[in-house]
Amino acid sequence: MKNFWNTLPKPFFVLAPLADVTDVAFRGIIAKYGKPDVMWTEFVSADGLVSKEGREHLMIDLAYTESERPIVAQLFTSKPENMRKAAKIILELGFDGLDINMGCPDRTIEKQGAGAALIKSEKLAREIIRAAKEGVEDKIPVSVKTRVGYNQDILEEWLGAILEEKPAALTVHARTRKEMSKVPARWEAVERAVKLRDFLQGESLAERMLIIGNGDVKDLADAETKARETGADGVMLGRAIFGNPWLFDKKAGYQNIKTKEKLEVMVEHTNLFEKLLGGKKNFSIMKKHYKAYANGFNGAKELRTKLMEAGNADEVEDIVNMFLKL
């Protein structure tokens, strides 16, 4: 097996999969200005991927460039057979790894028995991991992203079951499904996950299962502190990436990035979105990014108002050029 997880520094820092955010365009910008140690695609339905019609529609969510490696495809399903078939597709597409989403709280996903709903079905969750491994033929590593429980913290029971299937890496969002993001992430849960892994695996380092902590990480310095305090092998950062493609660049320092550069990168991001995703994804997806890029400087509110009315990359560029001339 080509297991890139074993080659990473400790601690390592990775970018979370965020629906309608971390698409191929934004990941391309991040790879250029502040590349994390690992990137994920947006999550994709394994059920959809194994149907001809669904595959044509979903392939855009599995687009990636070489600059993003190592790149992991994230899938969700409640059907082991569909996971097996979809995993074969992921292998054929040349991804470096496959990740299984067992933590998404979206009701549409849960109604399918997938995402966080799998926390309530330990047996099925284990079957899906095995199916994924069979699908990729043990040629690329399989990892899992989940939470500490559904309605309550059952970390030892739930994660213990997942770890018995020996995923290459396990990302632990330090909240339950019920808590969503309404309460602060409890990073002591990540420390418990590390201790559980160590207990189950003993001293074996040959095929070390890695623990990645996730939840409320502000920046790289915060991530380093959390890794040190919990013993996590890696830390996943998500919402902090909004408006900050430099997040993973230790040298850049977001506070040192000038407003002009932020806006120029925003225009570059917009052009790349239109080039790679124009006609395939709605341009309005970019507007959540504009709210983050155009923030924290004089005139930002007025600029955001104009950007919200833009309908294409040329209009965005004209609005930014006019603003920079003021």
pLDDT digits (tens, 9 = 90+) for 146-186: 999 999 999 999 999 999 999 999 999 999 999 988 899 99
Asked whether residue 203 carries a pLDDT value surpassing 70, the answer given is: no
Q: Give the Å distances, CA to CA, from 202 to 161, 194, 228.
A: 16, 12, 20
Answer with the residue of higher pLDDT: 84 or 181: 84
Q: What is the pLDDT of residues 230-251, one digit of tens each?
A: 999 999 999 999 999 999 998 8
213-246 burial: b if 16+ Cβ within 10 Å, else e: bbbbbeebeebeebbeebbbbbbbbbebbbbbbb
**Mean pLDDT over each residue of the chain, to the nearest integer:** 95
Asked whether residue 208 carries a pLDDT value surpassing 90, the answer given is: no
Q: Which helix (H) or strand (E) holds 87?
A: helix 80-92
30, 104, 118, 168: the active-site residue: 104
146: exposed, middle or buried (C-beta count within 10 Å: 0-12, 13-18, 19+)?
A: buried
Q: Give the Å distances, CA to CA, from 242 to 72, 116, 123.
A: 20, 24, 37
pTM of the complete model: 0.96
Residue 98 region by backbone torsions, left for phi larger than 0, else alpha for psi between -120 and 50, else beta: beta
Question: Using CA atoms, how far apart are residues 184 and 103, in angstroms rounded to an integer?
Answer: 17
**Cβ contact 119:179 at 8 Å:** no
Asked whether residue 204 carries a pLDDT value surpassing 70, the answer given is: no
pLDDT band at 317 (very low <50, low <70, confident <90, very high): very high
Averaged over 115-128, what is the pLDDT?
Answer: 98
Q: Quickly count: other Cβ atoms within 10 Å of residue 125's Cβ.
A: 23
| DSSP characters over 33-60 | HS--SBEEEEEEEHHHHTSHHHHHHHGG
Residue written as token pair 């047996």:
123
The question of whether 263 is a catalytic residue gets the answer no
- Peptide bond just before 70 cis, omega within 30 deg: yes
Residues in the chain: 326
Q: State what percent of residues in the chain have pLDDT above 70.
A: 98
Q: What is the pLDDT of residues 14-73, one digit of tens each?
A: 999 999 999 999 999 999 999 999 999 999 999 999 998 889 899 999 999 999 999 999
Question: Using CA atoms, how far apart are residues 27 and 293, in angstroms rounded to an integer?
Answer: 15
> Which of these, 115, 125, 123, lies nearest to 173 by C-alpha position?
115
